[in-house]
Chains A and B, each alone.
Chain A
């Protein structure tokens, strides 16, 4: 009798867990998996995958498994919009992570916002991203929180008196990084010898660099993506420019050194994540990532990993009703209350200021780490 009852309980449990199978939580991942932005998009995707696998291995969120629906947005605005529409209306996901570039978020974010579905950026650092609307979240730290500290540290280390600036002026991310650099340099009263620009796809920077050399700066401040930055460094050294570089978030890619080799020695860059941060959450992430993907993780993988854990923490507090609209709204309302201790350190959300009093989304509240490049590697800056 007793055995029979136990058996029935197990049966009931099995059928319950099967009902849970049917109620897998669908999570959209829209990242650039091909094209130039893939160097950020692929680590992002890996970070989500790792976090989802870990959560599912522990039995999911409240017994619900997380199911990732991964789409390639190719780092293009049009593709990001298409992918967002597919994930929201066709796959009916609960939340979308991505897209990779700020440019794409400016294009696709409004689609998610209008559909009252959270778009959660893990690599969008441009200003104004969360002004798109109340359904836009990000855990990527904004350039305006990182660059003042990067600049101040570099200025102190090298005793910098004047700098030259170069940036890409047709990309939301590099342009917005430049705006922040400009403001910070003004605030810290560092004269700029010359400000040079290039456009996406440019490979010849010699004319601009020759001009920079003519101004004799103590450092070159560069708001560029890693590939361009690496080429700029190589061509700068070819022209005999020996001063160090100071970079924005775009520098945070191993690509920088794969291409530039040792041309980037002494570069200062700020990052929300440090590989060798000894916090247990980070050490666990680094080891698990290496085991799963056989390569070193980077900042973008760490931020994606944390982002999914943030969403899981919010889901933990919810009882999903099965009504997609209501569940999307409930998740949106639960997210701002989450705070976790992740691979990138202690994290919480900060309501974005918003433009002209319009409702806005949520930014990250986190402290950056400052790196200096030594021996072709990012080394945590320990002070002079």
Chain B
């Protein structure tokens, strides 16, 4: 039972982490809390569903479609909404409200296009295999989810630490003005970041839709809350923080449901989060706020 719950926690946690990664990336680079990330996540899963059901495409094509559709929506949000706000030096709350508007538009658009009923990936596209290791039942799907999540996180981590692009992004995170003075194309990298973050969100949407076999226009809201919790816990804007925070929340939820009571699963998870923040107010890896302050 313990091993099975560990696996449950790992699957859930790695999807949380992947979702939070895009969220924290936008905050780290653009210094904006983009509340449309939950809706972008939801649109990603619908994009994959559409490609898979209408063109009988394999699942990997669905994943790519989700990345592209979500990515371009993220880019659109940056170009059409965040950029004009940046140009006018809007205070921090304004982009938050504007992106809530994006959430409402996207949610209603999807409701109009696909209806409110719960949708599912057709059974044929799911990897059917499962293994039994000792007491633990592992579905191939779960291995795929954890693998994809960690692969994308590793890629992002590598890109940020080891490439010229990553160095430029980190410079922007430090100070966009200085970065611009150094000849970095700040606006271009803002667009790129928005695209990449949204694409990661889209993939997370597909993975959650696959794991739990349910896609609805409202699936973005609960995960958005969890995403906020994860990046607050991990430290705003910190990549490692999103990873550890996501896994922490996944495990905390599963274990409080499994070993304490399913009545208070979220209460325990969020209570623990509160306790950690009491001890470390800037999150596990959070130096960003101090630096900016």
Give the complex CA separation of A363 and B12 in angstroms. 44
Q: Which residue of B lies closest to A166 (CB)?
A: B262
Q: Flag whether B118 is at the interface (Cβ < 8 A).
A: yes
Are A213 and B1 within 8 A (Cβ)? yes
What 0/1 readout, one digit per residue, does chain A (195-229) give for beta carbons within 8 Å of chain B? 01110010110111011011000000000000100
Q: Which of A204, A259, A261 contacts B211 (CB 8 A)?
A: A204
Query: Which of A38, A206, A231, A259 has the largest count of B CB atoms less than 10 A from its CB?
Result: A206
Q: Which of A169, A214, A231 contacts B263 (CB 8 A)?
A: A169
Say how far A3's CB is from chain B's closest CB, in angstroms: 61
Task: List 18 other contacts, CB 8 Å, given A211-B5, A211-B262, A231-B212.
Answer: A34-B115, A34-B116, A198-B262, A201-B222, A204-B12, A206-B12, A207-B254, A207-B262, A210-B4, A210-B258, A211-B257, A213-B4, A227-B214, A234-B213, A235-B213, A240-B132, A240-B137, A259-B213
Say how far B209's CB is from chain A's closest CB, in angstroms: 9
Are B213 and A203 within 8 A (Cβ)? yes
Q: Write out the residue numbers on chain A whose beta carbons fall within 8 Å of the beta carbon of B212.
A: 203-204, 231
Q: Write out the residue numbers on chain A whose beta carbons fall within 8 Å of the beta carbon of B116.
A: 34-36
Q: Write out the residue numbers on chain A whose beta carbons fall within 8 Å of the beta carbon of B117.
A: 35-36, 38
Are A197 and B263 within 8 A (Cβ)? yes
Q: Write out the residue numbers on chain A whose beta carbons fall within 8 Å of the beta carbon of B238.
A: none
How many residues does chain A have at the interface if contact means C-beta atoms less than 8 Å apart?
27
Q: Which residue of B lies closest to A215 (CB)?
A: B1
Q: Flag whether A239 is at the interface (Cβ < 8 A).
A: yes
Are A239 and B4 within 8 A (Cβ)? yes
Within 8 A of A (CB), among B246-275: 253-255, 257-259, 262-263, 265
Q: Flag whether A238 is at the interface (Cβ < 8 A).
A: yes
Question: What would be 15 A-B contacts, judged by CB atoms less than 8 Å apart?
Answer: A34-B116, A169-B263, A201-B216, A201-B218, A201-B222, A203-B219, A206-B12, A207-B262, A210-B8, A211-B1, A211-B5, A214-B1, A231-B214, A234-B213, A238-B130
Q: Flag whether B120 is at the interface (Cβ < 8 A).
A: yes
Are A207 and B253 within 8 A (Cβ)? yes
Size bracket of the B interface: 20 to 34
Q: Write out the residue numbers on chain A whose beta carbons fall within 8 Å of the beta carbon of B1.
A: 210-211, 213-214
Are A227 and B211 within 8 A (Cβ)? no
Say how far B31's CB is from chain A's closest CB, in angstroms: 32
Give the complex CA separation of A213 and B132 in angstroms. 14
Q: Write out the residue numbers on chain A whose beta carbons fall within 8 Å of the beta carbon of B123.
A: 261
Known: A207-B262, A207-B265, A208-B262. A227 touches B254 (CB 8 A): no
Are A203 and B263 within 8 A (Cβ)? no
What 0/1 readout, one digit per residue, does chain A (235-255) give for beta carbons within 8 Å of chain B? 100111000000000000000
Q: Flag whether B161 is at the interface (Cβ < 8 A).
A: no
Q: Write out the residue numbers on chain A whose beta carbons fall within 8 Å of the beta carbon of B222.
A: 201
What 0/1 readout, one digit per residue, does chain A (177-204) give for beta carbons within 8 Å of chain B? 0000000000000000000111001011
Q: Is the interface of B mostly helix, strand, loop or mixed?
A: helix
Q: Write out the residue numbers on chain B whose beta carbons fall within 8 Å of the beta carbon of A238.
A: 130, 137, 139
Say how far B280's CB is from chain A's closest CB, in angstroms: 27
Q: Write out the residue numbers on chain B whose beta carbons fall within 8 Å of the beta carbon of A204.
A: 12, 211-212
Instruction: Give the interface of B toward A (CB within 8 A).
Output: 1, 4-5, 8, 11-12, 115-118, 120, 123, 130, 132, 137, 139, 208, 211-214, 216, 218-219, 222, 253-255, 257-259, 262-263, 265
Are B132 and A259 within 8 A (Cβ)? no
Q: Write out the residue numbers on chain B whose beta carbons fall within 8 Å of the beta carbon of A208.
A: 257-258, 262
Are A207 and B257 within 8 A (Cβ)? yes
Are B213 and A206 within 8 A (Cβ)? no
Give the complex CA separation of A208 and B253 in angstroms. 11
Say how far A225's CB is from chain B's closest CB, in angstroms: 11
Give the complex CA separation of A206 and B13 in angstroms. 13
Query: Which of A38, A203, A207, A208 has the largest count of B CB atoms less than 10 A from its CB?
Result: A207
Give the complex CA separation of A201 and B259 in angstroms. 22
Say how far B228's CB is from chain A's closest CB, in angstroms: 18
Give the complex CA separation of A221 and B287 in angstroms. 50
Say how far A178's CB is from chain B's closest CB, in angstroms: 12
Known: A169-B263, A204-B12. A239 touches B137 (CB 8 A): yes
Say how far B255's CB is from chain A's closest CB, in angstroms: 8
Give the complex CA separation of A278 and B265 in angstroms. 48
Q: Write out the residue numbers on chain B whose beta carbons fall within 8 Å of the beta carbon of A259.
A: 120, 213
Are B213 and A231 within 8 A (Cβ)? yes
Are A206 and B254 within 8 A (Cβ)? yes
Q: Which residue of B lies closest to A34 (CB)?
A: B116
Give the complex CA separation of A314 and B197 in angstroms. 63
Say how far A205's CB is from chain B's closest CB, in angstroms: 8
